[in-house]
Structure 1
Amino acid sequence: MEDIRSYLESGILELYVLGELSHEEAAEVQALAVKHPEIADEIAAIELALEQYAQSNAIEPDTAVGQRIFAEIGPAISLPASPVAAAVPPQHQTVTDPETGNQSARLRRLQFWLAAAVTLLVVSAGALFYTYSELSAARERITGLSLQNQQYTRNATYMLKSNEELRTMLNMNADAGWSAVRLAGTAQAPEARMMVYWHKESKQVMVNNVNLKLPEHDKNHQYQLWALVNGKPVDLGVFDAGKDTSSMMIRMKEIATAQAFAVTLEPAGGSKNPTLERMVVMGAVSI
């Protein structure tokens, strides 16, 4: 009998009611409750005292605060249901304890365990919220660093490409084999102008994209460069105006001989023959 009294005062039943025991420990309490009616009565009394304490000390939480916390930490946290109902046999659900002193001691003990459980829950929720906030901040920092790295890579690539094109332009200026052909606007586009570079020996043809002044066109059309060879137009490829400013020079198709260069506006992809009424610039090659 003394062992039963010590067991009742050990605090394990309060932990059982609060759902803080492991599966094995809870199973042991359930088995003892079936075997010893006084343990079952104690469990029922603790449950009743817990209900009375909760009702007398209930505080209505701030709805806005609760919504904010759970919106931040994700899915709602639910407390495990007390397994008392399954543990206590039906014949011990009703408790009559005539000893007022024992009831008061039991209530004080239950208050202590309840306060400890609430404190643990608050600390756990706070720690979870803090961890979630730190993870969110770290994720934002990583995203920011990734975007910065991508921008740095793009800038570095652009600078390398620009340096290569600058070296090419310097070499072109130093090479007497390059001829600069100025193309002036026609009646279709009087303000248009552009510069074409042609190397007679290597047959290379380049369009200066920096000083390109042609009317912008829609996505269904492109400009097409033509070389006039003995009065016949020869296709040198298509390009866009005002679309790509990352390249200083646009490489076109090669040509061995030409007396003039002209540009017409054609359907996207180019045409076999130039549309003369859509010629925007033209320039003769200096002899």
Structure 2
Amino acid sequence: MEEGKAYIESGILELYVLGELNAQEQHEVEAMAAKYPEVKQEISAIELAMEKYAIQHAVQPSVSLENKILARIGATENKENTSSVASPDQQITSPVSETKILPLYPEGYESKLKTLRIALLACAVLLIISGIALYSAHTELGTAKQQIIALNQDKEKFANTVNYMKETNQELQTIADMPMDPDWKIVKLAGTKMAPKAKMMVYWHTSGRHVMVDNSKMGLPANDQTHQYQLWALVNGKPVDLGVFDVKTDTTHILLKMKEIGSAQAFAVTLEKRGGVPSPTMDQMIVMGAVSI
């Protein structure tokens, strides 16, 4: 059922009815119609809708146009009849005995022929009008399809915005609730001689072992494509790697989750090659801060 519904929404059935598909694509549509009754019903509905559209938008030929067509047909027939009559010079003297001339066509044939010509002309005019109507309908269907695609894109952007706002609100609420939870430690990291004006915040949950850095309060110089910042926890004087991160002003998250740690006396950040290193480069330490008891 889902496959049939998706196939209907793809817009290929309208192209099938309009005759815009190649032979292979037509066979594919007919196979889907045989497999899914809803596809076959949709094809019938599209054909009916286009037929109604053509009838509603059909243009009746004007009276003056019809009179011109009839006059042209009448003039042609009169010319043919006149040329068929022999001139006096061409006439041959016939014998005294009268010869009976049989008509070539049955009686009333010329009248029926005239009616048939008019009917054929009217059909041709209607066919042209129907073709124009179908082309217009096809163009409108294409425009509607583009509008649907644009609406779906706008819908996706709106959903992403809503999700971003939800995540941002959750992160802000987490920060707001930290002072009420004694297990949360808020550690302020200050700049070293490498970057005296640098600063950042680290949030550490001592019992849950969670470690996060605050991207909105990260005052670090922007790193290049070959380097990353690496967070360290000092545990009994030994550095423990807590992961790497980039400084991005356009990040989608306020809180960046790092590796977990159960105990720490201080946190520090160094600038390392991309991907991180096993032990910190001490002369590349950018910020450092002690955990308050």
When the two structures are superposed, what TM-score results if normalisation uses the length of structure 1?
A: 0.58
- 114-123 vs 142-151, which deviates more? 114-123
In structure 2, C-alpha distance between the alignment counterparts of 1:125 and 1:206, rounded to whole Å: 66
Q: 2:275 aligns with which of 252, 259, 269?
A: 269
1:155 alignment partner in structure 2: 161
Q: Does the aligned pair in 2 maintain the 1:210–1:245 contact within 8 Å? A: no
Q: CA deviation at 1:272?
A: 0.6
Q: CA deviation at 1:140?
A: 2.1
Q: CA deviation at 1:180?
A: 1.2
Q: CA deviation at 1:224?
A: 0.9
1:134 alignment partner in structure 2: 140
Which sections of structure 1, spanning at least 5 residues, go unmatched? 16-110
Aligned-partner SS, 1:137: helix
With over 3 angstroms needed to count, the CA separation of the structure-2 counterparts of 1:3 and 1:154, relative to structure 1, is farther
In structure 1, C-alpha distance between the alignment counterparts of 2:245 and 2:119, rounded to whole Å: 80
Q: Please report the RMSD computed on the Cα atoms of aligned residues, expressed in angstroms.
A: 2.9
User: Are 1:179 and 2:179 an aligned pair?
Assistant: no
Aligned-partner SS, 2:256: strand
The Cα offsets for residues 38-66 of structure 1, whole Å up to 9 and x where unpaired, read as xxxxxxxxxxxxxxxxxxxxxxxxxxxxx
User: Are 1:146 and 2:247 an aligned pair?
Assistant: no
With over 3 angstroms needed to count, the CA separation of the structure-2 counterparts of 1:126 and 1:258, relative to structure 1, is same
Q: 1:248 aligns with which of 235, 246, 254?
A: 254
Counterpart of 1:189, as a letter, is A
Q: CA deviation at 1:5?
A: 3.8
In structure 2, C-alpha distance between the alignment counterparts of 1:219 and 1:181, rounded to whole Å: 28
User: Are 1:189 and 2:189 an aligned pair?
Assistant: no
Q: 2:245 aligns with which of 228, 236, 239?
A: 239
In structure 2, C-alpha distance between the alignment counterparts of 1:122 and 1:201, rounded to whole Å: 81
2:43 alignment partner in structure 1: none
Aligned-partner SS, 1:9: helix
User: Are 1:201 and 2:201 an aligned pair?
Assistant: no
2:3 alignment partner in structure 1: none
Which sections of structure 2, spanning at least 5 residues, go unmatched? 1-101
Identity %: 48
When the two structures are superposed, what TM-score results if normalisation uses the length of structure 2?
A: 0.57
Aligned-partner SS, 1:215: coil
In structure 2, C-alpha distance between the alignment counterparts of 1:131 and 1:181, rounded to whole Å: 66
Q: How many residues align?
A: 192
1:9 alignment partner in structure 2: 110
